[in-house]
Amino acid sequence: RSQSTYNKYITVYNHLTTFIKERYHRDDMAFRELTSDFIREFDFYLRYDLQSTHNTVWVYTMPVLALVELAIKKGLIRDNPFQDYEINMEETDRGYILKEDVEKLMMCVPPHPRYELVKDLFIFSCFTGLAYADIKKLTRNNIQSFFDGHQWIISRRKKSDIASNVRLMEIPKRIIEKYQGTTRNEFIFPVPTNATCNTHIGKLIEKAEIITEQKVTFHTARHTFGTMFLTEGVPLESLSKMMGHKNISTTQIYAKITSQKISKDMDLVTPKFKAMEEAFLAAI
C-alpha cells in the first residue's frame, strides 16, 4: 500500500471514531451492532457536518464497506448490514488552462520577483505532468539519459507509487538548468509550500489576464499537461504512462473534456469525406 492509502485509512478511522462518539456516545462498536442506519448516518455526517463533497464521501465510505465485507468472510457476521447502501464516484471536470494561456503565462512578467519561482514550477508541470508532491521530491538522480539519447525524468508518483517516465522537452530542461545550484541538498528545486504556490499562481493568472471558469491551482498544471498533450496528438496509452496513471480510464477523462482535440480530429477526418460531399452537393 502507498503512503497516501495509509493516510486515507487513518483519516477514515479518525472520522469514524468522532462520528461514533457524537452519534452513539461511545468509543467503539462491534460489527454485529451495525445496521443500515449506521452507514447512512455516517454518510450524512460526512456530507453535512464535515461539508464533504460527494466524491470525498465515496472515498471515506468505501473502506467501511470493504471492512464489513471482510468481516463476513472472516465469519464475524453473517449478513451485510449495508447491502442496501449505494454510492458511486461522480465524474468531475478537471480544471485546465489552454495552450495559448500557457504561452501568456510564459510571457508574463511576475508582479513580484518572488512569484517567478512558482511561475517556473507551474510551467515545468505543464510540460512534464508532474504533480506538486512529485516536483518537490525530484532529485538529480531522476534525470537520466535514456535509450533514445534524450534526457528523461524517471520517477514514481508519490500518490500511487506508479512509474512515471517523461522525456524532457527544451522548456522544462531550461527551467532545471535555471535553478541548478539553488538547493543545498539533492533536490532540484527549492519548492515553496503548496499553499504559497497556489496563492502565487492566483496572482500570476490575474496578471497574465487568463480567464477561466474554475479556480487555477498548482495542480491545474498537471491537468493542463494532460489536455494539452492529448490535443496535440499524444495517444492515450502513452499519456497514461507519462502521467503515472494506474488505469487508462483515468486518462480517458482528459479525452472527454478537450474540445480542441475533438476539433483537431474532425479537421483530420473531414478531407476524407470530401469526394462524398462533392457528389452529394452535385446531386441536390
pLDDT > 80? residue 267: no
pLDDT > 80? residue 15: yes
pLDDT > 60? residue 165: yes
The DSSP 8-state label assigned to residue 47 in this structure reads I
Arithmetic mean of pLDDT, 180-196: 92
Give residue 253's pLDDT band: very low, low, confident or very high (50, 70, 90).
confident
- Predicted confidence (pLDDT) per residue in 25-44, tens digit: 999 999 999 999 999 999 99
pLDDT > 90? residue 196: yes
Domains of the chain from N-terminus onward: 3-73 (no CATH), 99-266 (1.10.443.10)
Report the mean per-residue pLDDT for the chain.
86
Give residue 94's pLDDT band: very low, low, confident or very high (50, 70, 90).
low
Buried/exposed 3-39: b ≥16 CB within 10 Å, e otherwise: eeeeebeeebeebbeebbeeeeeeeeeeeeebeeebb
Give residue 280's pLDDT band: very low, low, confident or very high (50, 70, 90).
low
C-alpha pair distances (Å), 204 with each of 120, 186, 211, 281 = 11, 28, 12, 51
Give residue 132's pLDDT band: very low, low, confident or very high (50, 70, 90).
very high
Which SS3 state, helix, strand or coil, does residue 128 take? helix
Structure pTM?
0.62
Arithmetic mean of pLDDT, 206-213: 86
Query: Is pLDDT larger for residue 241 or for residue 276?
Result: 241
Given this model, what pLDDT does residue 111 score? 87
CA atoms 128, 133, 134, 140: torsion sign: positive
CA–CA gap between residue 13 and residue 60 (Å, rounded): 9
pLDDT > 60? residue 257: no
Percent of the chain whose pLDDT exceeds 90: 51
CA atoms 129, 134, 137, 139: torsion sign: negative
Query: Which set of grid coordinates corresponds to residue 213?
Result: 471558469
pLDDT > 80? residue 106: yes
Arithmetic mean of pLDDT, 188-216: 90
CA–CA gap between residue 44 and residue 42 (Å, rounded): 5
The DSSP 8-state label assigned to residue 214 in this structure reads S
210, burial (CB in 10 Å: exposed 0-12, middle 13-18, buried 19+): middle
Given this model, what pLDDT does residue 278 score? 78
Given this model, what pLDDT does residue 8 score? 83
Arithmetic mean of pLDDT, 86-105: 80
Which SS3 state, helix, strand or coil, does residue 29 take? coil
pLDDT > 70? residue 13: yes
pLDDT > 60? residue 92: no
How many Cα atoms occupy the beta-carbon half-sphere of 70 within 13 Å?
A: 6
- Predicted confidence (pLDDT) per residue in 110-121, tens digit: 989 999 999 999
Given this model, what pLDDT does residue 48 score? 92
